[in-house]
Chains A and B, each alone.
Chain A
């Protein structure tokens, strides 16, 4: 009997523990954020644009099966001295705490990026709600406009649209993809430089706030935006960093015909090889080996001849080499080593790197870079030769 009393007491006591956690967060006390835009104001404060998911709208949508006029998101703009402060000021406008765990993109305004983003980086790494997989972008203009911009309505939440854009564009070799972990890793490596994909807003007819598009790559040195890489240079950067998943390369074949053959790169591998002789750095060699297929061809290309195919391969190699060298030139003109050359030297010969680390900026400008590309055309698609037009 006594045992039973004790047992039932234990069970009753446990019930009081079962009703929930201490640090619980109920859905009606928080607002889930999907994207963040960070700008700076004229008086050196931060302007946070926080995209809130309105679960009420989402619910109506899924019940009725059709979409209303409005997006199920709303942008809230708050000003604060720091990221944390602005986040707390969010409560003053909404009466809820912002919940950062589902933030998928962080867009940084151009002005802020030029001034330097070090102050906001610490919070982004320290806070336990923020995921390291959150993508980072830099706006060409103001970040708040980007979050208001429009795209085709495949994904109802704008920030998730941007996330998909980056992901697929990166797979196609059109844009770099940088999340918080990548950024922290890049910016703390030997050269202290990093890059972030750029995003732009274009005014078109029929859209209120303009459409967004991924454009260029922002180049950062010591967490400050120092310049932009255009589309070709972005592609070159991806080639150098061995980050090409797949991409289309245009080739002139025969030489006088401009952009007449298109090669889809299927596989590629780039190796950065510093050549060190007698304890001095002689040059840096980039070895690229890639394979691809013909995606579009013209009537002059007779694929039945193996010689022609190898000639196209040679022509592709030239194009890729040109792109990479152009990118390196641009990098040298900005004096940022985002290509990981310094890192490659450190990994190969740490002692030599220690000696040259101090003067690396000067060495980087003068070091010759050699690019060797080996391209193999492996497949030619479903037809062999292009059909001739009658008139020609």
Chain B
């Protein structure tokens, strides 16, 4: 085992929510609205179940191979060489998805808050603490999250609460205007975020009670699902048809809040965004570092966080020209390999192990007799 610390199992809820929620809250509502219109909340509802399935599968694999990560047990399941190839794909996946997250993070700050500041500044600014955090280990990231997570949740709920008086819930009518297909398509766009629980496949060996993880991560997914439904419905109730044109609907919502002297809540979004996305980036950065460390079978792998950090900065800066391109890719192009890596492959691995078990039993039984 490469990591030395053990994580208390109760932290799993927090880390999963902050790994999925931050970018989902800011970017998803518009993406969902484009497909499912006012039924976005139903899309999120459906996707939550898929998320639960992925959690079931990943924790199932995790309890079967108690002290191994997905990089290691994939070799056990499908053989040495295919396992190595799959492990390599996961290394690439964790880096590539993190480049997206970094870019999304910097785009919001440079686009909506500090227009004159170059984006590279934000990218480097967030990757430095992330490198440090990864270097110090998983436990550090999770402890920081224990501080950020409550404030993160409170600020999200506060903005929702304050905007209640401007909502008009008749905007979410009519329900299922164009049948089920747009809703399913909207749900599919959500899948990228809900399957990000794949990070659990890297964490489970380091959690002190792996048997408790399934229940807690399911609770986390349900909380994210509820939050997503609430936010989708709220944004459609407040901005109606205009949701389609807003780049960051939740930011617009926060800017619109005015209850007595409570106005201009952009600063809360700023906090939520920097705090939440920092954890998100650090988690994926850690996963990439650990994955490469295990794939190369290096004992002291943590120094890898520095080259990976530099690679992330370059990738996130070079890969896309503008926000439109980033959004287009997460909506239509990159979503396919991401969902395959995060959702389909774990499910296949799980089914394979189950089949193996059954076959194994059948072949074993006669021998025992």
**Which one of A23, A128, A133 has the greatest number of beta carbons of chain B within 10 Å?**
A128
Nearest B-chain residue to A22, judged by Cβ: B117
Query: Is residue A185 within 8 Å, beta carbon to beta carbon, of the partner chain?
Result: yes
Interface residues on B, range: 20 to 34
A169 to chain B, nearest CB (A): 18
Query: Is residue B177 within 8 Å, beta carbon to beta carbon, of the partner chain?
Result: yes
Chain A residue numbers with a CB within 8 Å of B177 are 350
Indicate whether A350 sits within 8 Å of B174 (C-beta atoms), given known contacts A22-B117, A131-B255, A133-B256.
yes
Contact of A22 among B111, B114, B258 (CB under 8 A): B114
Q: Is the interface of B mostly helix, strand, loop or mixed?
A: helix
Query: When chains A and B are docked, how far (Å) is the Cα of A350 from the Cα of B241?
Result: 15
Query: When chains A and B are docked, how far (Å) is the Cα of A134 from the Cα of B255?
Result: 11
Chain A residue numbers with a CB within 8 Å of B258 are 133
Indicate whether A184 sits within 8 Å of B114 (C-beta atoms), given known contacts A132-B252, A350-B177.
no
Nearest A-chain residue to B168, judged by Cβ: A185
Contact with B along A339-355 (1 / 0, CB 8 A): 00000001111100000
Query: Is residue A189 within 8 Å, beta carbon to beta carbon, of the partner chain?
Result: yes
Nearest B-chain residue to A21, judged by Cβ: B114
A347 touching B115 by the CB < 8 A rule?
no
Contact with B along A128-168 (1 / 0, CB 8 A): 10011100000000000000000000000000000000000
Nearest B-chain residue to A101, judged by Cβ: B264
Nearest A-chain residue to B174, judged by Cβ: A350
Contact residues, A1-41 vs B (CB, 8 A):
21-23
B124 to chain A, nearest CB (A): 11
Query: Is residue A125 within 8 Å, beta carbon to beta carbon, of the partner chain?
Result: yes
Contact with A along B91-125 (1 / 0, CB 8 A): 00000000000000000000111111110010000
Chain A residue numbers with a CB within 8 Å of B115 are 23, 128
Query: When chains A and B are docked, how far (Å) is the Cα of A373 from the Cα of B116?
Result: 56
Indicate whether A22 sits within 8 Å of B116 (C-beta atoms), given known contacts A185-B239, A350-B177.
yes
B34 to chain A, nearest CB (A): 15
Contact residues, A181-215 vs B (CB, 8 A):
181, 184-185, 188-189
Contact with A along B115-143 (1 / 0, CB 8 A): 11110010000000000000000000000
B153 to chain A, nearest CB (A): 25
A125 touching B240 by the CB < 8 A rule?
no
Chain A residue numbers with a CB within 8 Å of B118 are 22
B255 touching A23 by the CB < 8 A rule?
no
A23 touching B116 by the CB < 8 A rule?
yes
B45 to chain A, nearest CB (A): 20
Query: Is residue B368 within 8 Å, beta carbon to beta carbon, of the partner chain?
Result: no
B29 to chain A, nearest CB (A): 16
Q: A23-B113, A128-B115, A181-B239 are known contacts; what are 13 more A-B pairs with Cβ within 8 Å?
A: A22-B114, A22-B118, A23-B117, A128-B111, A128-B113, A132-B252, A181-B256, A184-B242, A185-B239, A185-B241, A188-B242, A350-B174, A350-B177
Q: Which of B's residues lie within 8 Å of A, judged by CB?
A: 111-118, 121, 166, 170, 173-174, 177, 238-242, 245, 252, 255-256, 258, 264
Q: Can you give 16 contacting A-B residue pairs, CB < 8 Å? A: A22-B117, A22-B121, A23-B113, A23-B117, A125-B245, A128-B115, A132-B252, A132-B256, A133-B256, A181-B238, A181-B242, A185-B239, A189-B240, A346-B174, A348-B174, A350-B177
Q: Which of A's residues lie within 8 Å of B, judged by CB?
A: 21-23, 125, 128, 131-133, 181, 184-185, 188-189, 346-350
